[in-house]
Structure 1
């Protein structure tokens, strides 16, 4: 693959080694490949964002090298995120490179759906197995208000393109906000059922300074679940996709409803994931500042992965027990925006 030089590893190299101080095995990474996005969602970005210069962002070659290294350490699931990953120039080449790695069980992506009409077919061919699509409203005017610039019709065409390309278990990710879109839980689930999609409701996370009070807009997932149970036959499920969502099945349909509840239910006891920003910062927890800078190791040792491997293994000892989200604070729990950490 031009520009992404693969260095195959023998199968014996794939030995799980990433065990944190609490005995949790890390086998899932979320890698952001850009902080840029063609949307400006109100819970994800400030109104006037300043994006990173190119030299401060991992190259696609460095992204591929990071993923290969993590896979040799037992990681079997990789999620590519952003910003919006598909606005990154030549992003498809990274999916093609990662999608053929031996030892990788699942390659997934989180996207706003705006570019899927163009890329869905090629992403499927590259080995992408599942797609999460962030969508917070079915009302075009409200959708534009939440995203500041987004076109709902373009996202809906992207969802259809993903279905046409053969993706199954497409999942919508929805953040409900009181006074903004909290009336849409039922219509969104009806849409998911109609189109044989899954949907996950995510409590708004206090990441970065935004132009509204998260304490005022917070909607608990318990309230959403109670509302949905009054309108749909929901059956509790033990299913998992490897992330923090707790799932319910909608009886007599193909749809699952997930709830990711960082406030009302701390899901950290079984945390199996770490995040890597587009700057190469390895964050051991979404809601804490514990991190290791991997970019210098990539650039100082371009032909030797051992320092990188050692740093990743050592980082497991600073992975915290859990996050500490508290909406009673005036300041956000974490200063960096979600778009900077990766969705």
Structure 2
């Protein structure tokens, strides 16, 4: 792919004030879904028999680069590539290579990704060579049988080998685990201790009501308030004044020495300081994970907009960013949004 090594005259003209929404929050973080496809079928994320998008609806790598670079020109300092599973996208390393120019220029502080880890053994070294310094790996259990059931056929050994490769390449790894009451709830302390024993941060996430899946999320929901209370019955949790640009609240576990995060979209609304927006692989910009807001940047690009027109479309979308999400868990309630997390970008 051909990188945009220097901003065009139109982009230079279009630059102006930082991206600030209608509630005074500055957007500095863009999550970019590069594909809706995944090699796993996690029960809380996807339906078992997913219908994936036709190729024509998915942004090309060049289009993903152009939109991402427009955000960088507007003050976004962190880019995270997601999916589906980003490493299943053909040619995705070319996109990483192209976007890494923003790291070299100093325009970008961080280029990173969230992955299920199944292909990390192959890609960890090249990612580190391109300037990726830390990654998030989704891992909900250390039990091969439960992993196979939750992912509908996945092999835990591939993920563990990927984590080994990432650490060997010098990447900092954070484990993201979705708390599921009847599946991994009792295993959470073991997962934390394992991660901290390997020098990994661990973040726990409440299940989010996105998209129709076969299971009832009411049965899966486990409040992290309760999890924290349970952990404090045998560990010392010390609150940390840490802000990584995300929704997690962090503690230090005194007994393990490791860092533990809690993402609580249902038991605690984390929207007051939200600094992020999400671009789907179809070019739809969502300024809130838990709302059905949408701005079609693919249509802007494919209508022939210049850089100034693209920047203006981005500014309009961010200005309309809602104050907070509509997540709630109630039996028989419809999901807060119809789109699946695999489509939105994890």
Cα deviation for residue 7 of structure 1 reads: 3.8
Q: Deviations over 1:288-327 (max 9, x none)?
A: 011100001112226x211110000111222100001111
- Counterpart secondary structure, 1:133: strand
Contact 2:235 2:255 in 1 (8 A): no
Say which of 289, 292, 296 aligns to 1:289.
Answer: 292
Alpha-carbon contact 1:4-1:60 (below 8 Å) kept? no
Match of 1:235 in 2: 238
Q: Is the 8 A contact 2:176 2:205 kept in 1?
A: yes
> What pairs up with 1:1-343 in 2 under 5 angstroms?
3-9=1-7, 16-101=17-102, 102=105, 103-168=107-172, 170-251=173-254, 253-301=256-304, 304-328=306-330, 330-343=333-346
Give the drift of 1:15: 5.2
Q: CA deviation at 1:176?
A: 1.3
Task: List runs of 5+ in structure 1 lacking aligned partners.
Answer: none
> Given that residues 17 and 313 in structure 1 are in contact (C-alpha distance below 8 angstroms), is that contact kept between their aligned partners in structure 2?
no
- Over 3 Å counting, the alpha-carbon distance change for 1:15 and 1:192 in structure 2 is farther
* Deviations 1:42-71, CA, capped at 9 Å, x for gaps: 010001100011111011111111111000
Q: Aligned residues, how many?
A: 339
1:197 and 1:254 in contact (8 A); partners too: no
Is the contact between residue 31 and residue 80 of structure 1 (CA under 8 Å) also seen in structure 2?
A: yes
Root mean square deviation of aligned Cα: 1.6
Superposed displacement of residue 239, structure 1: 1.0
Mean CA deviation greater in 85-94 or 224-233: 224-233
Query: What is the distance in 2 between the residues matched to 1:292 and 1:12?
Result: 23
Q: Say if 1:305 and 1:12 are closer, same or farther in 2 by CA, change over 3 A.
A: closer
* Structure 1 CA distance for aligned equivalents of residues 259 and 2 of structure 2: 37
1:225-271 CA deviation, whole Å, 9 max, x = no partner?
11222232221101121100000012265521000000011000000
Cα distance per residue 1:154-209 (max 9 Å; x no partner) = 100000100000012x1000011111221111110011111000010000000011
SS in 2 for 1:175: strand
Question: Structure 1 length normalisation: TM-score?
Answer: 0.95
Q: What TM-score do the two structures reach when normalised by structure 2?
A: 0.95
Would you say the 8 A contact 1:185–1:228 is kept in 2? no
Distance 1:326 1:167 in 2: 35
* Cα pair 2:193 2:256 within 8 Å, conserved: no
Quick one: structure 1 residues 99 and 231, their matched pair in 2 at CA, closer, same or farther if it must change by over 3 Å? farther
Structure 1 residues 46-98: Cα deviation after superposition (integer angstroms, max 9, x where no partner): 01100011111011111111111000001001110000000001111111111
* 5+ residue gaps, structure 2: none
1:117-149 deviation digits (Å, cap 9, x = unpaired): 000000001111210000001000000100002
Distance in 1 separating the partners of 2:154 and 2:16? 43
Structure 1 outlier segments of 4+, above 3 Å: 10-16
Partner Cα distance (2:274, 2:59) in 1: 26
